[in-house]
Chain A
Amino acid sequence: MGDTSSNRNNSQRHEEIVAFVCGTMSRDEQAAFAARMVDDTELATQVDAVRRALSPLNAWQAPEPEASLVDAIMREVETASPLKYVASETRMPSENETRPVRRGMFTLPQFFAVAASIALVLSVLFPTVQRQNDRKFQQACLGNLSRVGQGWSMYTNAYDGAMPQVDAGGPMNWLNNPQRGELEPMVRLGFVPPHVFVCPTTEGRKFTDASAAKDLAAFMQRTDLRFYAVQHPAAIAQRLRGPMPLPVFADQNPLFANGQFNDVDESANSPAHRGQGQNVLFTNVSAEFLKSPRFNLGDNIWRVEGPIAKYTGIESPVSATDSFLIP
C-alpha cells in the first residue's frame, strides 16, 4: 500500500518535471513549480538532469518552408471551393421538381410478375449480400483486435512491462470467473475503450462505452456478450520470449458459451463468424483471420493438448508449445 502510494507520488513528480522542462505548464503552474524548486534542492537537481537530457533536441534543425508555399496553398484552396458544392445541395427545387407525380395502377398479373422478379433477384443477391456482410464483420472485428493489441502494448510500455493477465496471479477458475476481468485496468486507464473487447457480431448489443464504464468490473465479467477469448496466463509466461508469435486474444472459444462448457467437434471454429474461422491477435501485434483453429504445427488454440472430455475451468496448457485461449 505504502509502495503504491510512493510510486504514484514519484510518477506525478516525474510528470511535473517533464511538463516543466518542456514548457507545457500554464504560467501559474510554472511559477508555483519554480517556487517549489527553491526549497527542494533534489527537485532542482532532477529538473536539471532532465533539461540536460533533452537539450540535444535543440540541435535538431527543421528547414524553413519556401515562401512560395503560401501561394501554392492559396491556389489549391481557390480550386477546391466547398461553396459550389454547398450551393448545389441547398438550392431551391424548381416548380417541375416539386410537382407530385401521378402514378398508374398495377393490374393483378403485373403485380405478381413484379413480385416474382423481385424474389428471383433477392435469391440471387442474398448469398452475395451475406458474404459481404460476413467480410464487413470480419474486418470490423479485426480492427477491434488491433486496437486491443495497441492498448495492450501501450499498457505494458507504460507500466514497466506489467501485463494484466500474467501479473494478476493467484488461483482461479476461469470458467466461473472470466480471465478478462483482469484486463479491466487497461480500460479504466484509457488504453482501450470497452467496446473493442467485444466482437461486433454480438447480437442485440445493449451497451455503450459510457454505460460500460459506469460499472466496468461488472461489464468485463458479462457472459452474454461475445467477448474475445484471452490466452491462458501460464502460456504467456512460458512462451513470451519464444521464437513463434503466440495467439494472445481471439474470437469467442467455441468450447465455452454463457459461462458453460459446450462440447463441440475438434475442428470447430469460433461461432462469432458463422463458424467460418476466427480473428486472432498475436504477441507481435499482428492480427489475422484463421480459417482453422489449428496453428503453429497443428496446435489447437481452443484446447489444451490431450483428451479432455469435459472442461471445468482449472485446465491449463500442458507444454511449452500448447496455446489455450480461455473466456
Chain B
Amino acid sequence: MNAPTDEQLLAKHLEGDPAAFRTLVERHMRELSQFVYRFTNSRSAADDVVQDTFVQIHLSAASFDPARRLKPWLFTIAANKARDRLRSRTRRREVPLDAQIGGADDDGQRFVDLLADEESDPAERMSADEQDAVVREVVDGMPEHLTEVLVLAYFHQFAYRDIADILGIPLGTVKSRLHAAVAQFGTRYKAAVKDREKDE
C-alpha cells in the first residue's frame, strides 16, 4: 500500500486525525532542520525555526490549497522564518552596490574561469573536518540570497520553479542567482584553501 501523500496527511489532520500531523513532522523534520541549519549556521535556530514552521502550518492548514504541493510551502515558511532570525541576530551580508560593480569580482567571468579549470580539488589533502570548516567560512561570507538558493538547489534538489515559489522570486532570478552562487562558491573556496595552505 502506498504511503499517504503530504497533502492527504494535511487533509486528515484537518479532519481531526491526531496521528496524521505527527507523520508529517517525522517525514520532513530532518530535511527542514538541515536546510535551516545550513542557512543560519545555528543548531538552536534550526530547532526553533522548524518548530515555528510546523506550528504555522497547523494554524494555516485550513487555508492551504490542496491542488498545490505541501513541501515547497513548508520550505517557504521555514526560509522566511530563518531570514527573520538572521536579520534579528545581525544585519550582516549587506554588500554595498559600489563593491559589486565590474572588475575582477565579476561572477560571469568567475563562472567562465571555473569551467576552464582543470586543477584537481585543492582540498583533497584536507581532512573532512577541515573541509567542513572551510566550506562554512566560505558560505558565511557569501550574501544571504545566494546561500539560500545554493542550499535549496544543491542539498534539496528543488526544481527551479519550486525554488522560485519558495523564495517568491522570478524564475530568471533563480537561474542567475544560482549561477552567481556557484561561481562565487567555487572561486572563494579555492582562495580560502590556498590561504590556509600559505598559513601552514
Contacts and interface: CB of A to CB of B under 8 A. Distances in A.
Interface of A: 11, 14-15, 17-19, 22-26, 45-46, 49-50, 52-57, 59-66, 69-70, 72-74, 76-77, 80, 82, 86, 149, 152-154, 156-158, 160-161, 163, 189-191, 240-241, 245, 248, 283-285
Contacts of A64: 30, 33
Contact of A18 (B62, B134, B179): B179
Contact of A76 (B55, B153, B158, B163): B55
Given A53-B186, A56-B189, A86-B62, A74 B25 contact: yes
Interface stretch (B4-12, B79-87, B169-177): B169-177
Contacts of A80: 55, 58-59
30 contacts: A14-B115, A15-B175, A19-B153, A46-B115, A50-B115, A53-B186, A53-B190, A54-B182, A56-B123, A57-B150, A57-B155, A59-B132, A60-B139, A62-B33, A62-B38, A64-B33, A69-B29, A69-B50, A70-B25, A73-B54, A73-B55, A82-B61, A154-B173, A154-B176, A154-B177, A156-B97, A157-B100, A157-B176, A161-B106, A190-B172
Nearest to B190: A53
B47 interface: yes
A284 B97 contact: yes
A161 B102 contact: yes
| 5 pairs of A and B residues whose beta carbons are closest in the complex | A190-B170, A53-B186, A59-B131, A62-B34, A158-B176
A53 B116 CA distance: 11
B97 A283 contact: yes
B22 interface: yes
Nearest to A285: B97
B65 interface: no
A92 to B, nearest CB: 19
Nearest to A163: B101
Contacts of B182: 18, 50, 53-54
A153 B93 CA distance: 13
A284 B98 contact: yes
A284 B96 contact: yes
A74 B186 contact: no
B102 A54 contact: no
A176 to B, nearest CB: 29
A72 B51 contact: yes
Interface of B: 21-22, 25-26, 29-30, 33-34, 37-38, 43, 46-47, 50-51, 54-55, 58-62, 94-98, 100-103, 106-109, 111, 114-118, 120-121, 123, 128, 131-132, 134-136, 139, 145, 150, 153-155, 157-160, 163, 169-173, 175-180, 182, 185-186, 189-190
Given A52-B117, A77-B21, A160-B109, 4 more contacts: A56-B135, A76-B54, A153-B100, A161-B102
Contacts of A61: 132
A26 B159 contact: yes
A22 B123 CA distance: 20
A168 B193 CA distance: 40
B52 to A, nearest CB: 8
B111 A14 contact: yes
A24 B175 CA distance: 11
A119 B189 CA distance: 69
Contact of A53 (B128, B159, B185): B185
A160 B47 contact: no
B34 A50 contact: no
A64 B34 CA distance: 7
A283 B96 contact: yes
Contacts of A54: 154, 182, 185-186
Given A73-B55, A82-B62, A189-B172, A24 B160 contact: yes
Contacts of A284: 94, 96-98
Contacts of B29: 65, 69-70, 73
A49 B60 CA distance: 44
A243 B180 CA distance: 27
Contacts of B169: 190
A65 B176 CA distance: 32
